[in-house]
């Protein structure tokens, strides 16, 4: 992990002592995300994609099943240590004979119904299970972004991530030319977007698009919201884009904006922006 990520983690822990246990989970994810071992699982993507299809859509993945199981169990055990009643129910997910590939696939495709089903079958709290399961594919997705960032079509204009199909975590308005980029909270991907367009429903009527500036947020942090679909995007004015390893932390550190948006009746859409279909197969490691 880089020093700046470490410092941000420590600062967040100081500002929000009640977050310490969850930050330990995030720290584990960021540590794993830096590992090159996931790079081998990223499939080749030479062929050009159709305009609206993320690079991960339709991929067949060969994953090292035992290493995936180790990572999943390690993450779940770290979450159990948070010690709340809900998180402790996740222990059952490490004891059961969990179908690790199917869980990975459901998380990768943001298949909320399947994750819910798995949680219920295991006797784990569904909310806690979904929150932790969402982090399982993050190291793999960062590896995809490392490999594919340069293959993102320049013409990409969708609101969802061109790598993994997720809705953006936030937008960045960069530099003196104020170019607008959307950032993915899963793979850390970045793609350029039109200002004054709702990424969720494509609304361009400026009467339907509002900017909310919560008190204390400062002029460099606003909420851009759409009155038609009631979606919102946190938008940060910045000189340059945040490094990949900091996206999850930037998203967490600006939770005050999420709270303000909710209070105004706006929300982030549930589920993926683009429903991926991915085949994840286990591959035994060649010793």
**Residues within the interface to Zn ion (CB under 5 A):** 161, 163-164, 166, 184, 186-187, 189, 198, 200-201, 203, 226, 228-229, 231
How far does Cα 277 stand from its chain's mean position? 17
Nearer to Zn ion, 128 or 248 (CB): 248
Q: Which residue has the tokens 């367009």?
A: 197
Nearer to Zn ion, 90 or 245 (CB): 245
CB distance 45 to 151 below 8 Å? yes
Residue 214, Cβ density class (10 Å: 0-12 exposed, 13-18 middle, ≥19 buried): middle
Nearer to Zn ion, 32 or 125 (CB): 32
d(CA 144, CA 39): 7
H helices present in the chain, as ranges = 3-15, 20-33, 65-80, 85-88, 91-95, 100-108, 112-122, 126-133, 138-148, 247-253, 255-263
Report, in Å, the least distance between residue 123 CB and Zn ion.
31
Report, in Å, the least distance between residue 104 CB and Zn ion.
16
Residue 208, Cβ density class (10 Å: 0-12 exposed, 13-18 middle, ≥19 buried): middle
CB distance 218 to 230 below 8 Å? no
Nearer to Zn ion, 208 or 238 (CB): 208
Report, in Å, the least distance between residue 201 CB and Zn ion.
3
Report, in Å, the least distance between residue 232 CB and Zn ion.
9
Q: Which residue has the tokens 């490490």?
A: 94
What is the per-residue burial (b if ≥16 Cβ within 10 Å, else e) of 48-86?
Answer: ebeeeebbbbebebebbbeebbebbeebbebbbebeeee
Q: Give the number of other Cβ atoms within 10 Å of residue 195's Cβ.
A: 12
Nearer to Zn ion, 90 or 276 (CB): 276
φ/ψ (deg, to 5) at 65: -60, -35
Nearer to Zn ion, 54 or 126 (CB): 54
Nearer to Zn ion, 77 or 227 (CB): 227
């Amino acid at each position: 992990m880089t020093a700046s990520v470490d410092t941000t983690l420590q600062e967040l822990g100081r500002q929000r002592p009640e977050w310490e246990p969850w930050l330990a989970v995030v720290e584990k994810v960021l540590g794993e995300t830096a590992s090159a071992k996931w790079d081998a699982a990223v499939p080749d993507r030479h062929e050009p994609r159709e305009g609206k299809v993320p690079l991960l859509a339709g991929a067949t993945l060969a994953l090292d099943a035992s290493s995936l199981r180790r990572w999943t169990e390690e993450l779940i055990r770290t979450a159990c240590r948070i010690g709340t009643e809900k998180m402790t129910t996740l222990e059952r997910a490490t004891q059961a004979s969990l179908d690790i590939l199917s869980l990975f696939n459901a998380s990768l495709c943001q298949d909320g119904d399947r994750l819910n089903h798995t949680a219920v079958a295991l006797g784990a709290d569904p909310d806690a299970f979904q929150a932790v399961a969402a982090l399982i594919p993050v190291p793999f997705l960062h590896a995809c972004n490392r490999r594919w960032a340069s293959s993102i079509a320049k013409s990409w204009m969708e609101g969802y991530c061109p790598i993994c199909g997720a809705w953006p975590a936030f937008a960045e308005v960069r530099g003196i030319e104020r170019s607008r980029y959307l950032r993915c909270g899963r793979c850390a991907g970045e793609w350029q977007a039109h200002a004054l367009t709702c990424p969720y429903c494509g609304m361009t009527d400026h009467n339907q698009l509002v900017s909310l500036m919560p008190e204390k947020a400062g002029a460099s942090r606003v909420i851009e919201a759409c009155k038609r679909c009631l979606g919102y995007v946190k938008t940060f004015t910045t000189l340059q884009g945040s490094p990949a390893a900091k996206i999850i932390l930037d998203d967490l550190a600006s939770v005050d904006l999420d709270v303000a948006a909710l209070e105004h009746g706006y929300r982030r859409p549930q589920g993926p922006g683009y429903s991926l279909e991915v085949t994840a197969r286990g591959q035994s490691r060649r010793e």
